Amino acid sequence: MSPPRAAGSPIGWARRFVALWRPSLVAYAVLLGAFLIVPAGVVVLRGFDGGAGERSPMLEAVSGQYLGSFWYSIRLSALTAALGSIIGTGVAAVLVDLPEGSRSRQAMVGYSVVAANMGGIPLAFAFLSAFGVQGLVTKLLGTAGFDLIGNGFRITNFGGIALVYMYFQIPLMTLVMIPAFVGLRRQWRDAVSSLGGTRADYVRRVVLPVVTPSYVGGLLLLFANAFAAYATAFALSAGASRLVPVQIRFFLQGDTITGKTNLGYAMAAWMIIVMVAIIVVVRMLAARTEKWQ
């Protein structure tokens, strides 16, 4: 197809250009439909679809031992999100106080990018070799007279997994908060002091209102981050974890308990519902944050 040159308003030309690229739009829609939207839809539909005489799988998935799984996942996500967001924000505050070009600031931000993306098997390996029964830190603490294992710490149980998750939660929060802190303008501080305000006034009246939406958004992001995680916990505990995703795996591998046909789908559907709720709030908060940046 060769475009008639003379028919030349840029808009008309652009329209023809666009028509040529229709195949990619179709490909995009097909990929997204077949490998995301339809599977997610099927998960939700089957989650609601119990067999004859069964309780709705969606209800079954949040009762008994399965409810226990959800609580375990939620507690782990909430704890690591809360601690990670506080520490990560602290690190971000310290980093933005350093001069922008400083080596330590650049190195820390760079490593935060790396660590925030870490996870899965390699991270599990790293923590096993540090805090495992035969770990380096375990040994070091032992030499110093503190028996980590004897005090009930296992890298595979709740506290251990939480510790491992902190490795990506803290830097992720740092990355979320740095732009928020950088967005605080020097002039605002000067304006407060020229109006007779103190440093405390500046923090309370300017910093907190501007930074809070970012903080809450980051907190939720961290929660979602931990909630959806699977590989790290799986690698640490060889599949013995009580986390929801690890439980779902049982159903996927065909260990279906009779009479609970669609329970795996229902648990997955609940995960999607939680994630949707979080992302909707995050998007709303992000819209508010953008005002200041």
Partner 1 sequence: MSRRAFRWLVLGAVIVFYAVPMLSMARFAFQRVPVVLLTWDTLFSRWTIEPLVEAVTSREFRRSAFATVRIALLTASVTLFVLMPVLVRARLAGRRLRRVVELSAIIPFVVPAIALVVGVSGIYREWTPWLLRSEYSLVPLYFVTALPFAYRTLDNGLAAIDLRTLLEAAQSLGQRHSGAVVRVILPNMWASVSTTFFLVCTVVLGEFTIASLLLKNTLPLYLAYAQGQDPQGAFGIGLLLTVVSAVFLAVSARVSGRLVGTGVVR
Binders of partner 1 in range 102-131 (CB under 8 A): 104, 108-123, 125-127, 129-131
C-beta of 76: minimal distance to partner 1 in Å?
A: 13
* 167 sits near partner 1 (criterion: CB under 8 A): yes
Residue 168, C-beta contacts closer than 8 angstroms, at least 6 positions apart: 115, 116, 117, 118, 119, 123, 225
Binding partner 1 (rule: CB under 8 A), the pick from 41, 51, 68, 259 is 41
**Contact yes or no for 69/240 (Cβ under 8 A):** no
Query: Would you say 188 or 249 has its CB closer to partner 1?
Result: 249
Question: Residue 37: left (phi > 0), alpha (psi -120 to 50), or beta?
Answer: alpha
- Minimum CB distance to partner 1, residue 148 (Å): 13
- The footprint of partner 1 on residues 210-249 (CB under 8 A) is 224-225, 227-232, 234-235, 245, 248-249
In the chain, the amino acid numbered 59 is: L
Give yes or no for residue 27 binding partner 1 (CB under 8 A).
yes
**Among candidate residues 116, 120, 125, 122, the one with its CA nearest the CA of residue 168:** 116
Residue 40 in contact with partner 1, rule: CB under 8 A: yes
Nearest to 85 by CA among 166, 203, 179: 166
Q: Which is nearer to partner 1, 195 or 238 (CB)?
A: 238
In whole angstroms, give the CA distance from residue 269 to residue 170. 28
Min dist CB 27 to partner 1, Å, is 5
CB of residue 212 to partner 1, shortest distance in Å: 21
Give whichever of 145 and 196 is closer to partner 1, judged by the CB atom.
145
Phi (first) and psi of residue 200, to 5 degrees: -65, -40
Min. distance of Cβ 106 from partner 1 in angstroms?
A: 11
Q: Which is nearer to partner 1, 29 or 191 (CB)?
A: 29
Task: State the minimum distance, in angstroms, from the CB of residue 12 to partner 1.
Answer: 11
H or E element, residue 270? helix 263-290
3-class DSSP string for 113-146: HHHHCCCHHHHHHHHHHHHCCCCHHHHHHHHCCC
Segment contacting partner 1 by CB under 8 A, of 57-65, 166-174, 185-193, 198-206: 166-174
Measured between its terminal Cα atoms, the distance across the chain in Å is 45
Residues 5-24 that bind partner 1 (CB under 8 A): 10, 13-18, 20-21, 24
Identify whether the C-beta of residue 266 lies closer than 8 Å to the C-beta of residue 43: no
Q: Does 209 bind partner 1 (CB under 8 A)?
A: no
Does 258 help bind partner 1 (rule: CB under 8 A)? no
CA 239, 165, 271: angle at the middle one, nearest 5?
65
Does 292 sit near partner 1 (CB under 8 A)?
no
In angstroms, what is the minimal distance from the CB of 170 to partner 1?
A: 7
CB 269, CB 48: distance < 8 Å: yes
